[in-house]
Amino acid sequence: MSKYLHEEYVRKFEDSLFYNKVQEPFPIYLDSILRNFIENTLNLDKDVDYIYKNSFKKIVDDYNYDNILPEKSIYLKISTSKLKNLESKKAHSNNPCEIICGCLQSGSFYDLINKKIYISIPEYIVGFLQDNNLSLKLNKMLNNELTESRLKSAIYHELSHWVRDSLNNFYLSDLFQRALNCSDKEKANLIRSAGKKQKDMSYYEIDAQIHGIKQTKIYHGDSWGKLTLNDLFYMYPTLMNVGTILYSINSKVFKIWIKDLVKRMDRENLLGKNMRIDSYEKILENNMV
Ligand SMILES: [Zn+2]
Query: Is 155 a member of any domain?
Result: no
Measured in Å, residue 109 CA sits from the centre of ligand 1 at: 7
Whether 11 has a pLDDT exceeding 70, the answer reads no
Residue type (1 letter), 145: E
Same domain, 174 and 279: yes
Query: Is 146 a member of any domain?
Result: no
Same domain, 71 and 125: yes
* CB environment 132-152: b (16+ within 10 A), e (fewer): eebeeeebebbbbbbbbbbbb
Query: Is 139 a member of any domain?
Result: no
Q: What is the pLDDT of residue 276?
A: 83
Q: Are 17 and 190 in contact (CB under 8 A)?
A: yes
Cα dihedral across residues 128, 137, 151, 153: positive or negative: negative
User: What is the tally of structural domains in the chain?
Assistant: 2
Provide the angle, in degrees to the nearest 10, between the axes of the packed helices 28-38 and 203-220: 40
Measured in Å, residue 205 CA sits from the centre of ligand 1 at: 5
Measured in Å, residue 133 CA sits from the centre of ligand 1 at: 31
Same domain, 168 and 283: yes
Same domain, 54 and 94: yes
Same domain, 223 and 281: yes
Query: Is 158 a member of any domain?
Result: no
Measured in Å, residue 192 CA sits from the centre of ligand 1 at: 12
Query: Is 142 a member of any domain?
Result: no
CA distance 200 to 246: 8
Same domain, 23 and 57: no
Same domain, 57 and 107: yes
Q: Give the pLDDT confidence of 201-256 residue by residue, as tens digits.
A: 998 999 999 999 999 999 998 899 999 998 999 899 889 888 888 888 888 889 89
CA distance 75 to 220: 26
Same domain, 187 and 270: yes
Q: What is the pLDDT of residue 93?
A: 97
Measured in Å, residue 282 CA sits from the centre of ligand 1 at: 25
Same domain, 278 and 263: yes
Q: Which domain holds residue 234?
A: 3-42+164-287
Maximal C-alpha separation, the chain: 57
Most confident of 3-7, 23-27, 174-178, 205-209: 205-209
Q: What is the pLDDT of residue 23?
A: 37
Same domain, 69 and 130: yes
Task: Read off the pTM.
Answer: 0.86
Measured in Å, residue 120 CA sits from the centre of ligand 1 at: 13
- What pairing do the DSSP bridges indicate for beta strands 116-120 and 109-111? antiparallel
| Residues making up the chain, counted from first to last | 289
